[in-house]
Structure 1
Amino acid sequence: MLTPPDDLPEETLRSALARHWGLSADSLGYRAVGRGSHHWEVTDAGGGRWFVSVDDLGTKRLGLADPLDAAYQRLRAALDTARRLREHGCAFVVAPVPTRDGESLVGVGDRFGVAVYPYLTGESFQWGEWASAAHRRGVLDLVVAVHAAPAATSEVALVDDFAVPHRDELELGLAGARAPDTGPYARLAARLLVEYAAPVRRLLARHAELADAARARPDRMVLTHGEPHPGNTMLGADGWRLIDWDTVRIAPPERDLWLVEPGDGSVLDAYAEATGVPPQGEMLELYRSWWHLADVAEETSRFRAPHTGTEDDDESFAILRSVLDHIGTLPAGGTGPR
């Protein structure tokens, strides 16, 4: 996120770091990186450096009736799974540092979850920025390792239910429900949804068909990262790493593969050769469609909630418009590459 949350005082964060991790923060600087979570770089009294991630649990809910505690428990399960992966030999997994009580995540106030990570040096990348064929292949090797991880790593992992988060608010928007006057983008977003309601509904219907096909093959489920795009990778002195494990789930392998495949089949062929599991075109389509729909639904939820027109709001509205434009170009019954 580009801006820190208004209702999380810095002193509250400092106190949580001291109480739960024993970190006395000499300096605490906000890092405007990534989307979805807030990040700080922390230097402690001994000169050690840490990377702190804070999630607004309100944005992690799956719908209006979803309690904040359920969002917290899902996030904790994902981070616990990342720790298990690292403990079972996946050294490329950037997992959270446990608290004094051995927890991966700590609740702060009513709405925030805090996790601490080691500060890593290396080359970082942006969404869509595959640096080379070697970058793709390096990440594919990590994905293969996650998919082949021992069963013990998946004991607390959640199973993907293929649901579109904030589907209830998306449906309100598609139906033309009056938008609450929550901020500068509320009515603009509402008008966009009405304009694109027909293609979005077609994509929802296609996604439901594909989800049913996935549920019929539980034998294909593996542990997946969920978002192994370039922005969630780093290149360090010890090789490639995968970061941001809040999306880890048990799911069909295509949940990861569609983000790595360049469109010429090379990654899919390499995966089949490495694992003996041929990727399925319909499952790749399932996750492309889910990604588009989740983007639209999440931004819809954002603008139905109070907002003030921050840089994050500006970026979110641009994403909403771009994804809806793309959905509007899709042929009936397909999602196309993106």
Structure 2
Amino acid sequence: MRDRPEDVDEGELSRVLDKWGIGAASLAYAPVGFGDHHWIAADDRGRKWFVTVADLELKNGQGSQAALRGLRKAMDTAAALRDQEKLDFVVAPLRAADGETVHRLGPRYALSVFPFVEGVAGDFDQPLTPQERGAVLDLLAELHRQTPPASTPVLHAELSMRGLLEKALEGVISWAGGPFAEPARTLLSGRAPGLRQRLEEFDRLVKELKESHRAPVVTHGEPHPGNLLRLEDRYLMVDWDTVGLASPERDLWSVVREPEDLARYAKAGGRMPDASALTLYRLRWDLEEVSIYVDWFRAPHDRSLDMEQAWDGLVGAVERLTDKAPEKRQTLR
């Protein structure tokens, strides 16, 4: 996130870092990524760590305790993939002295520590060349072949906040107020018929997936260029908080672009991706985006760089789902 959270005390953050044996001489906020907050910690010997602080209240819409349990499972899974399965492309959290990958930072946040990697990061919507897509597909095929660690979360295709989205389309949720509340309400109201049609399509595809009885695999969840680090001639994958057991198409939909991509994955992964499952997870991504941003904008909020980015994300997802020509975006600056 680009906006540093004002309620995170860096003194307390340093004290929690002691659990990893890190005596941080300096902490620098890193305005990168979207969703979590990040700092770079350094000690007086020049060693560095990448510190991630997750806002549990924004994680899954199910409360901070459920979010914390889910985050621990995900981080433990990533650590196991690196340490037990020896996947060297997994940038996983380091374990604290007590063996934990996640520790509380006050009532709202949770902290994880990662090795500091001097790689070149990509952007979320950055196009990849065929060669680059092939390299990512090879990594995903290797990931999908792994025996799932015991901690791997089991994920279902259904939407995590379906009830909230349906109430928003019905116009029966309350909007607490903020600069994006009324524009979000108006946007959903105007596009409600189209969004309901996509929900019906989504339900049909979920039913088809369940009836296919395809074995789930370990998936990353968001292997887009923003979660890739180029290190010399190879890629590393970061942000494993979305890891979980699911259909491989959960990863593949955002990478494949050509029939050659499908053939490459089939050769490396041992099975051909399913076209309807690819459509399902592409659709699910946008529906989840809409649900998440509705949850943000219905709560009290202020104008910020992150909220402006969220607004753009909501508009983009709604436009893709309703399959209309992009309308002139409302200026809220």
Q: TM-score, normalised by structure 1?
A: 0.92
Partner of 1:289: 283
Are the aligned partners of 1:222 and 1:253 in contact in 2 as well (CA < 8 Å)? Answer: yes
Shift of 1:139: 0.9
Take 1:271 and 1:54, find their aligned partners in 2: how far apart are those partners?
Answer: 34
User: Bigger shift: 232-241 or 140-149?
Assistant: 232-241
Q: 2:25 aligns to what SS in structure 1?
A: strand
| Residue in structure 2 matched with residue 129 of structure 1 by the alignment | 126
Q: 1:147 aligns with which of 144, 147, 152?
A: 144
Q: Distance in 2 between matches of 1:10 and 1:169?
A: 34
| CA displacement, residues 125-171 of structure 1 (integer Å, 9 cap, x when unaligned) | 1012134322211111110110011x2x4321112111323323222
Pairwise CA distance, 1:215? 2.1
| Alignment check: 8 A CA contact 1:154 1:250 kept | no
- Provide the residue aligned with 1:250 in structure 2: 245
2:222 match: 227
Which residue is equivalent to 2:302? 308
Q: Please identify, of 178-187 and 27-36, the stretch whose mean Cα deviation from structure 2 is larger.
A: 178-187
Checking the alignment, whether the CA contact within 8 Å between 2:202 and 2:284 is kept in structure 1 is: yes
Q: What does residue range 55-134 of structure 1 map to in structure 2 within 5 Å?
A: 55-62=54-61, 66-87=62-83, 88-134=85-131
Gaps in structure 2 of 5+ consecutive residues: 325-333
How far apart are the structure 2 equivalents of 1:167 and 1:83? 31
Report deviation, 1:237.
3.3
Which digits, 9 at most, give the CA deviation of each residue in 1:147-204, with x for residues without a partner?
011x2x4321112111323323222211112542331111111111111111111111
Residue 202 of structure 2 aligns to a residue in which SS? helix
Over the matched positions of the two proteins, sequence identity in percent amounts to 36
Between the two proteins, the alignment pairs up a number of residues equal to 324
Letter in structure 1 aligned against 2:157: F
For the residues of structure 2 that align with 1:29 and 1:138, how far apart are their CA atoms?
Answer: 33
- C-alpha deviation, 1:325, in angstroms: 1.6
Runs (5+) with no aligned partner, structure 1 = 331-338
Deviations 1:246-305 (A, max 9, x none): 11111111111111102x211111111223311111000110110010110101000011
Distance in 1 (CA, whole Å) between partners of 2:120 and 2:214 is: 37
Distance in structure 2 (CA, Å) of the matches to 1:199 and 1:68? 32
Q: Which residue of 2 aligns with 1:33?
A: 32
Against the structure 1 CA distance between its residues 178 and 167, is the aligned structure 2 distance closer, same or farther, given a 3 Å change threshold? closer
Matched, 1:268 2:265: no
Partner of 1:336: none
**Which residue number corresponds to residue 199 of structure 2?**
204
> In structure 2, what is the equivalent of residue 13 of structure 1?
13
What corresponds to 2:328 in structure 1?
none
Asked if the contact 1:127/1:229 (under 8 Å) is kept, the reply is yes
| Counterpart Cα distance in 2 of 1:186 and 1:300 | 8
Deviations 1:53-74 (A, max 9, x none): 1110111124xxx232111111
TM-score by length of 2: 0.93
- CA RMSD in angstroms, aligned pairs only: 1.6
Displaced runs of 4 or more, over 6 A = none
Equivalent residue number for residue 156 of structure 1: 151
Give the secondary-structure state (helix, strand or coil) at the position aligned to 1:231: helix
**Contact map agreement 2:56 2:63 (CA 8 A) in 1:** no
Query: Paired residue for 1:320?
Result: 314
